[in-house]
């Protein structure tokens, strides 16, 4: 039996009534990592129906560090579901099972850091067909919150997260489909959103198996908290100290270390090594927000290995 935490209901797994805000966004995000194949990625789609488009992102990282990537802003006129740009999300059983599928082109980059110059990357790297067909099954509780209209939150007023087991197939170009078996995290947000409305943060997601997952969220200085998913239980991380090493001369994170204190008194330690990195950005009104995405291998307490995503968001420095 899947537990539901916070002020959520199972119906919050579906889309919601379109809000009046021009920047109303309803987005879903699914990451997935197969530790046997050293492969992973994520899909995301955000409906911005009042602005007439969706934001669609697909990335699959390969064991050698190369990646398949696509980003598009297909036109939409409603918020009745997530189906645009070749990416489709089907809620099979709310809070328990979701199907994600993508059929379309994708850019192949031997070095995904080429996306630091998107125009050049799309001109100079080949495009091929990519097909993703994955089933995401809950292994932990459905948790999050629903905020109130008018609270001034312009980023994630309502939000859910859940750890998942992921299986299915991925097909690259004209190759035969390859099986995928792993774990990941999904999230869902709705309400007004500007990427420029949140200060810098670090968002770390880790998957160790059916029985164990975690998320960390800190500010740009590395202070914050998070949650451990232990089966159907959640244990709050009350204090986190996150330190990061970057590629020299860049804001591209390479390794991280987090020292954590849990609400039950335990202390745990996490080390992360970025296996493949892609620098993304969100531009609005002349402002370009950096969103660095890393497929990351983790070691918990010096013993248990896992995989996940480390996302570092930074706003432009003020003059």
pLDDT in tens, 212-234: 999 999 998 889 999 999 999 99
pLDDT at 187: 97
Each residue of 28-56: pLDDT tens digit? 999 999 999 999 999 999 999 999 999 99
Q: What pLDDT is attached to residue 319?
A: 43
| 209, 224 Cβ separation under 8 angstroms | no
Task: Check if the beta carbon of residue 187 is closer than 8 Å to that of residue 215.
Answer: no
Q: Which residue is listed with tokens 């998070």? A: 226
pLDDT digits (tens, 9 = 90+) for 200-212: 999 999 999 999 9
Q: What is the pLDDT of residues 57-68, one digit of tens each?
A: 999 999 999 999
Cβ contact 7:73 at 8 Å:
no
Question: Which pLDDT value is given to residue 81?
Answer: 97
Q: How far apart are CA 10 and CA 33, in angstroms?
A: 26
pTM of the model: 0.94
Residues 6 or more apart in contact with residue 208 via CB below 8 angstroms: 183, 214, 298, 300, 304, 305, 306
The predicted structure's pLDDT at residue 17: 94
What is residue 6's predicted lDDT score, i.e. its pLDDT?
A: 86
Per-residue pLDDT of the chain (319 residues; tens, 9 = 90+): 899 998 999 999 999 999 999 999 999 999 999 999 999 999 999 999 999 999 999 999 999 999 999 999 999 999 999 999 999 999 999 999 999 999 999 999 999 999 999 999 999 999 999 999 999 999 999 999 887 655 554 455 699 999 999 999 999 999 999 999 999 999 999 998 776 667 899 999 999 999 999 999 999 888 999 999 999 999 999 999 999 999 999 999 999 999 999 999 999 999 999 999 999 988 876 778 899 999 999 999 999 999 999 999 998 865 4
Cα–Cα distance list, 28 to 21, 102, 188, 266, 311 (Å): 19, 14, 4, 32, 16
Domains of the chain, with CATH numbers?
Answer: 14-314 (2.40.370.10)
């Amino acid at each position: 039996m899947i537990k539901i935490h916070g002020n959520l209901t199972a119906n919050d797994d579906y889309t919601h009534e379109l809000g009046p805000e021009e920047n109303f966004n309803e987005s879903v995000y699914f990451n997935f990592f197969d530790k046997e194949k050293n492969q992973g990625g994520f899909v995301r789609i955000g409906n911005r129906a009042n602005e007439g488009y969706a934001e669609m992102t697909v990335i699959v990282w390969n064991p050698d560090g190369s990646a398949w990537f696509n980003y598009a802003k297909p036109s939409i006129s409603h918020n009745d579901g997530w189906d645009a740009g070749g990416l489709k999300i089907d809620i099979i059983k709310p809070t328990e099972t979701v199907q994600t599928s993508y059929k379309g082109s994708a850019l192949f980059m031997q070095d995904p850091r080429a996306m630091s110059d998107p125009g050049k990357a799309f001109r100079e790297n080949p495009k091929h067909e990519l097909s993703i067909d994955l089933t995401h099954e809950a292994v932990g509780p459905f948790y999050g919150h629903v905020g109130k209209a008018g609270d001034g939150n312009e980023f994630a007023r309502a939000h859910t997260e859940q750890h998942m087991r992921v299986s299915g197939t991925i097909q690259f170009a004209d190759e035969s489909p390859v099986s995928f078996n792993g774990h990941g995290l999904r999230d869902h947000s709705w309400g007004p959103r500007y990427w420029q409305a949140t200060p810098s943060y670090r968002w770390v997601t880790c998957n160790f198996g059916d029985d164990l997952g975690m998320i960390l969220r800190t500010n740009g200085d590395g202070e914050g908290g998070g949650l451990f998913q232990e089966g159907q239980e959640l244990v709050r991380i009350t204090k986190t100290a996150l330190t990061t090493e970057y590629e020299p001369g860049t804001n591209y994170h390479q390794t991280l270390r987090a020292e954590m204190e849990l609400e039950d008194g335990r202390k745990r330690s996490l080390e992360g090594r970025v296996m493949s990195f892609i620098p993304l950005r969100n531009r609005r009104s002349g402002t370009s927000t950096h969103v660095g995405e890393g497929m990351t291998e983790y070691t918990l307490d010096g013993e248990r290995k896992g995989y996940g995503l480390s996302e570092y968001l930074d706003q432009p420095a003020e003059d």
